Amino acid sequence: MSGLQAFGPKARAVTIVGALVVLVGSMALFTLLFTLIWPGEARYVAELRCDDAHPEAVVVQDTQQTSDGTSTDFTVYCVSPDGDAIDQGWAPSFLALWALHTAAAGVLVALGLVRRRARRRRRLAQA
Amino acid sequence: MRGQGERGTRWSAAVTCLVALALGTTLLSGCIGATAREDFTRAMAERSGGVSGLLVTRALDAVGERLGTDNPSMRSVHVDGGSRTVTMEVVDPRDPSKLDTYAFHDATLEDPQPILVTGSTSVERDTFRVQEVPVLSSMGGVVRVALGKLGIEDALVRRITVRRGTEGVRVSVEASSARSAGTATFDADGKLLDARRS
């Protein structure tokens, strides 16, 4: 017996939920920092929400000087070939990126766990 | 001991990644893939000459939706190229003797403002149904033709007015640059009637 199997079902459930909370929380922080470096990533998820008349997504940056320093806001627009722009805000794109990053990290963690378990099984079989 | 060592290495790797991300955030903040507001505004104006035909379509759709009709009756449609605001004088479908002003800006239709209708005003004579004026659904083409015929370098559309005159509904497109200005006039079908520099 090893890892989570050493605990009861309740402890195992608590551990899994805790791990999920840590994963989702850390991905929120990661997405926040990552979109500050590469806000253009939001274009790719925003374009899924743009209609046929406004097929192109553009991330627009507003920089303002405040008493605390410089503040930067991002807004996503869906624009038409003749320059009509529809404001999509920032939150929907951010939430979509957060979900996407979390799913990608979840897949990586799951693959890591499967690989670790397979290695452990091989080691036990050899012993 | 070995497990603890591995765990310590993983933690230090995670902390290093986080520090690198924070450092990257500070150094590169907003650098990749975002367009500055001024550049965006300029690019959109260059694409359309200042006014997109879809802006008018969206404004008319918004009014139609608010009034529950796809063919509202109007006295005028004004498009301000600078603020990208469409202002419409619309007949109240519940009481055709009343007119209201609706302003559409930034995808939002504002609440109607009442218009004073005096005894000399004939609401019925001065108004038109949206579907009677096919050019309203192809304003992008009208803007392109107007800018082409006026031939003003770096011109932007300042104002578009749609109103019923003595010879039917007329669309006037006013465009200007820093050095020159002009007006092009079209009929309800979008046929160019006149284009002159002022």
With respect to residue B83, please indicate whether it lies within any of the assigned structural domains: yes
Contact A60 B40 (CB under 8 A): yes
The domain total for chain B is 2
Question: Are B22 and B119 part of one and the same domain?
Answer: no
With respect to residue B9, please indicate whether it lies within any of the assigned structural domains: yes
Residue of A nearest to B36 (CA): A61
Question: Are B56 and B145 part of one and the same domain?
Answer: yes
Question: Are B78 and B112 part of one and the same domain?
Answer: yes
Q: Confidence class of residue A3 from pLDDT cuts 50, 70 and 90?
A: low
Tell me what the mean pLDDT of segment A103-112 comes to.
Answer: 92
Domain residues for the domain of B29 are 1-34
Query: In percent, how much of chain B has pLDDT > 90?
Result: 50
Question: Are B29 and B101 part of one and the same domain?
Answer: no
pLDDT of residue B140: 85
Q: Give per-residue pLDDT as tens, B131-154.
A: 999 999 888 889 989 999 999 888
With respect to residue B41, please indicate whether it lies within any of the assigned structural domains: no
Which three-class secondary structure state does DSSP give residue B90?
Answer: strand
With respect to residue B81, please indicate whether it lies within any of the assigned structural domains: yes
**Residue B175 pLDDT > 90, yes or no?**
yes
Question: Are B7 and B73 part of one and the same domain?
Answer: no
Chain A: closest CA distance from residue B96 (Å): 32
Q: Taking chain A, what is the end-to-end CA distance rounded to the nearest angstrom? A: 15
Question: Are B181 and B152 part of one and the same domain?
Answer: yes
Query: In percent, how much of chain A has pLDDT > 70?
Result: 94
**Residue A86 pLDDT > 50, yes or no?**
yes
Contact B54 A53 (CB under 8 A): yes
Tell me what the mean pLDDT of segment B41-54 comes to.
Answer: 81
| CB-CB neighbors (< 8 A) of A41 in chain B | 33
Give the integer Cα–Cα distance in Å for B36 and A73.
10
| CB-CB neighbors (< 8 A) of A123 in chain B | none
Interface with B, mutate which of A23, A84, A88, A101 (most B CBs under 10 A): A84
pLDDT: which is higher, B65 or B14: B65
pLDDT of residue B198: 85
Residue of A nearest to B56 (CA): A84
Close Cβ partners of B27 (under 8 Å, ≥ 6 residues apart): none
> For residue B190, what are the CA distances in angstroms to B55, B80, B103, B139?
17, 19, 24, 8
**Residue A5 pLDDT > 60, yes or no?**
no
Residue B171 is encoded by which pair of tokens? 């669309």
**Residue A10 pLDDT > 50, yes or no?**
yes
With respect to residue B111, please indicate whether it lies within any of the assigned structural domains: yes
Question: Are B101 and B141 part of one and the same domain?
Answer: yes
Question: Are B80 and B139 part of one and the same domain?
Answer: yes
Contact A40 B55 (CB under 8 A): no
pLDDT of residue B1: 45
pLDDT of residue B150: 92
Q: Give per-residue pLDDT as tens, B59-100.
A: 999 999 999 998 999 999 999 988 889 999 999 999 888 899
Question: Are B109 and B178 part of one and the same domain?
Answer: yes
pLDDT of residue B2: 47
User: Taken in order B34, B36, B39, B44, is the CA torsion positive or negative?
Assistant: positive
Q: Confidence class of residue B118 from pLDDT cuts 50, 70 and 90?
A: confident
Give the one of B29, B40, B45 whose C-beta lies nearest to A36's C-beta. B29
| CB-CB neighbors (< 8 A) of B45 in chain A | 83
Which three-class secondary structure state does DSSP give residue B145?
Answer: helix
Question: Are B112 and B21 part of one and the same domain?
Answer: no
Give the integer Cα–Cα distance in Å for A88 and A124.
55
With respect to residue B109, please indicate whether it lies within any of the assigned structural domains: yes
Question: Are B85 and B162 part of one and the same domain?
Answer: yes
State the DSSP code for B84: T
Q: Confidence class of residue B101 from pLDDT cuts 50, 70 and 90?
A: very high
Give the integer Cα–Cα distance in Å for B169 and B186.
9
